[in-house]
A and B are shown apart, each in its own frame.
Chain A
């Protein structure tokens, strides 16, 4: 059984200016021990999807208007609140981008880590503290015993992100959702944290959803990628296939527009225009105003996700042209 299956998820936000359609029919799945990278720019719906899966979407203004979130075969969207709460943290956990604002500044990290055990397992204060030290050692925080009583601001950015990871791992969940876990970190620290995350995932055979805008981070750790645009998945593929021959013009545009460390060229290829306003997503394919392949049909019909090869799909009417001429 697949660990997590998201089926045709729809999320919208009611705002003063109208209804923002943040997620429009997203489906993906993750197995145990597998890493799915969800790639997209700001406003593509990648984080909102994750929040809906996790059950931490602000409602209102958010509203899930359709779809299913099957976790180990059980639809989470139909569960009562209390049952949902027992799953969250214990069986699925989340790592956030900004550890400093995700941690409580007036409580020690030991207290916050121990809280997981006190609340979910009824551990005593003493047991909880001992487990907190153990967790800090597991995420390789030096002198864990001495630092368990420190406050979040006393740690560096990289160490704080380790504490976030420790907290997510505390109850040995089956699924971890990491939302831009290394975006706020320096590159040398970024490498340490990604390595740690990958090691722990292997050790516990967890499913991992890695949400990011960074095509580089993904290349190294993901098994498969879902590329999102305007609240839809526009392409899914294995990592190697996606980088070698993107099947959607948006993916190709993204890959061509980033400068690469191992290449020196003069002019970067640019995706013209900007990401769409979610209040007025263009009719037809949402990418059509920016797409070099766009034709009349793209302005009229929203393309479904076509199966373009084994385990590959692309939401482009002209995906065949993407494979021609290379």
Chain B
């Protein structure tokens, strides 16, 4: 499953300037949407990124696809620095890193037919499909995502939400990319339709050897689809590891609180869970707290947390554990500790 890293992201930073004044704009601050994010994506794996609204997860998606230019940091695709790529080299990168958007209603042009939407990537990258062959390729793509190829001449409004998301996925697949960045691809869909799209994405991954960056706020879906998971809070990754490390042995208090807050659709499990209810709201990313960003809501916070920012590394107290121990994974907390049974296993 996991091979070489095809995407390496290091210390990625994106600050959006806050300005004041109309004629003489001066910068009065910055929204630190992404504030030092690093991760690797391996061939054929799914990296899930979870976090609450405003944590910067969607900005990460836009930076990786180069829809936004990062303030600092590097993004390497197959060893090549694409952080400042432009013109022809950027075009080549984009062919290989495609995006699927959240809202299947606004991400498809209502005046274009499905055939035109799915075939549009070929206009920009004509080398992928010669002109005469496009019609056939589009029909093939529709078939692959489970839509009737006869629908090429229909318009987006003639489809349901789930079908539209399939169209968005077909468009993402058109150029045979290696990486697909999916930003909340199922959260706008009805519950009974979400599973169809998740299963489709898993099947396509096996079929085409795709790597996914799967961004969502729904922790259950992220667990289901991901091999590794990164948890974001206020512009930073606070904990990252394999799916079972994060979900069964989280050591960061934010991850623990987040997991304990997710309701489980089973009253018997639900009754046995200990819930950590966090106080207050996420602070503004324009003015994040000093030291550890989570300290204002953390029940473990002490003076050290305000003075010193914890690095994202295997915590000191677990450094002596063997690398194959589940607690041996990066967690940005001075007082990282395991907590028993945040999510008790089902059926016990």
Residues of A within 8 A of B (CB): 41-42, 142, 156-159, 186-192, 195, 213-220, 239-240, 243-244, 253-255, 257-272, 274-275
B163 to chain A: closest CB distance in Å?
A: 8
A260 touches B263 (CB 8 A): no
A261 touches B195 (CB 8 A): no
Contact string, B171-190, partner A, CB cutoff 8 A, digits 1/0?
Answer: 00000000000000000001
- By beta carbon, the residue of chain A nearest B222 is A259
B123 to chain A: closest CB distance in Å?
A: 31
A41-B221 contact in complex given A187-B261, A189-B281, A240-B267, C-beta closer than 8 Å: no
- By beta carbon, the residue of chain A nearest B247 is A261
A219-B277 contact in complex given A188-B257, A261-B247, A268-B199, C-beta closer than 8 Å: no
A304 to B175, CA, bound (A): 51
User: B259 within 8 Å of A by Cβ?
Assistant: yes
- By beta carbon, the residue of chain A nearest B159 is A274
Question: What is the predominant secondary structure among interface residues of chain B facing chain A?
Answer: helix
User: B191 within 8 Å of A by Cβ?
Assistant: yes
Specify which chain B residues have a CB less than 8 angstroms from the CB of A269 in the assembled complex. 195
Task: Name 21 A/B residue pairs within 8 A (Cβ), A-sorted.
Answer: A159-B281, A187-B258, A188-B258, A188-B278, A192-B278, A213-B191, A215-B265, A219-B265, A219-B266, A219-B270, A259-B223, A259-B225, A260-B220, A260-B346, A262-B264, A262-B346, A264-B244, A264-B247, A274-B162, A274-B163, A274-B193
A187 touches B219 (CB 8 A): yes
- By beta carbon, the residue of chain A nearest B348 is A262
- By beta carbon, the residue of chain A nearest B254 is A188
Pick from A186, A240, A259: contact of B52, CB below 8 A.
A186
- By beta carbon, the residue of chain B nearest A222 is B267
A261 touches B261 (CB 8 A): no
- CB contacts between A and B, total, < 8 Å: 138
A257 touches B278 (CB 8 A): no
User: B169 within 8 Å of A by Cβ?
Assistant: no
Besides A216-B264, A258-B195, 8 new A-B residue pairs in contact (Cβ under 8 A), listed by A number: A191-B277, A216-B265, A218-B265, A239-B267, A264-B223, A264-B224, A270-B196, A272-B196
User: B27 within 8 Å of A by Cβ?
Assistant: no
- By beta carbon, the residue of chain A nearest B343 is A262
A261-B220 contact in complex given A217-B263, A274-B160, C-beta closer than 8 Å: yes
B190 touches A261 (CB 8 A): no
Specify which chain B residues have a CB less than 8 angstroms from the CB of A258 in the assembled complex. 191, 194-195, 220, 265
8 A-B pairs with the lowest CB-CB distances in the bound complex, closest first:
A216-B263, A259-B224, A186-B52, A215-B265, A257-B195, A268-B195, A191-B261, A271-B192
- By beta carbon, the residue of chain A nearest B221 is A259
A15 to chain B: closest CB distance in Å?
A: 15
- By beta carbon, the residue of chain A nearest B259 is A261
A219-B264 contact in complex given A158-B281, A258-B220, C-beta closer than 8 Å: yes
A191 touches B275 (CB 8 A): yes
Residues of B within 8 A of A (CB): 52-53, 160, 162-163, 190-196, 198-199, 202, 217, 219-221, 223-225, 243-244, 247, 257-259, 261-270, 275, 277-278, 280-282, 343-346
B322 to chain A: closest CB distance in Å?
A: 23
- By beta carbon, the residue of chain B nearest A186 is B52
A254 touches B267 (CB 8 A): no
B263 to chain A: closest CB distance in Å?
A: 3
Specify which chain B residues have a CB less than 8 angstroms from the CB of A218 in the assembled complex. 265
Specify which chain A residues have a CB less than 8 angstroms from the CB of B53 in the assembled complex. 157, 186
- By beta carbon, the residue of chain B nearest A241 is B267
A258 to B190, CA, bound (A): 11
Specify which chain A residues have a CB less than 8 angstroms from the CB of B267 in the assembled complex. 219-220, 239-240, 243
Specify which chain B residues have a CB less than 8 angstroms from the CB of A261 in the assembled complex. 219-220, 223, 247, 259, 262, 264, 343
- By beta carbon, the residue of chain B nearest A259 is B224
- By beta carbon, the residue of chain B nearest A158 is B281
Specify which chain B residues have a CB less than 8 angstroms from the CB of A41 in the assembled complex. 190-192
A245 to B225, CA, bound (A): 26
A157 to B257, CA, bound (A): 19
A236 to B278, CA, bound (A): 34
A42 to B160, CA, bound (A): 12
Specify which chain B residues have a CB less than 8 angstroms from the CB of A219 in the assembled complex. 263-267, 270
Specify which chain A residues have a CB less than 8 angstroms from the CB of B268 in the assembled complex. 240, 243-244
Q: Which of B223, B244, B275, B344 has the largest count of A CB atoms less than 10 A from its CB?
A: B223
B1 to chain A: closest CB distance in Å?
A: 13
Specify which chain A residues have a CB less than 8 angstroms from the CB of B191 in the assembled complex. 41, 213-215, 254, 257-258
Q: Which of A239, A240, A259, A261 has the largest count of B CB atoms less than 10 A from its CB?
A: A261
A65 to chain B: closest CB distance in Å?
A: 26
A266 touches B202 (CB 8 A): yes
Pick from B244, B282, B346: contact of A263, CB below 8 A.
B346
A22 to chain B: closest CB distance in Å?
A: 16
A255 to B346, CA, bound (A): 14
B338 to chain A: closest CB distance in Å?
A: 17
A255 to B192, CA, bound (A): 9
Specify which chain B residues have a CB less than 8 angstroms from the CB of A275 in the assembled complex. 190, 192
Specify which chain B residues have a CB less than 8 angstroms from the CB of A156 in the assembled complex. 281
Q: Which of A189, A240, A275 has the largest count of B CB atoms less than 10 A from its CB?
A: A189
A215 to B263, CA, bound (A): 8
A272 to B192, CA, bound (A): 8
Specify which chain A residues have a CB less than 8 angstroms from the CB of B346 in the assembled complex. 260, 262-263
A257 touches B258 (CB 8 A): no
Specify which chain A residues have a CB less than 8 angstroms from the CB of B223 in the assembled complex. 259, 261, 264
A187-B262 contact in complex given A220-B267, A264-B224, C-beta closer than 8 Å: yes
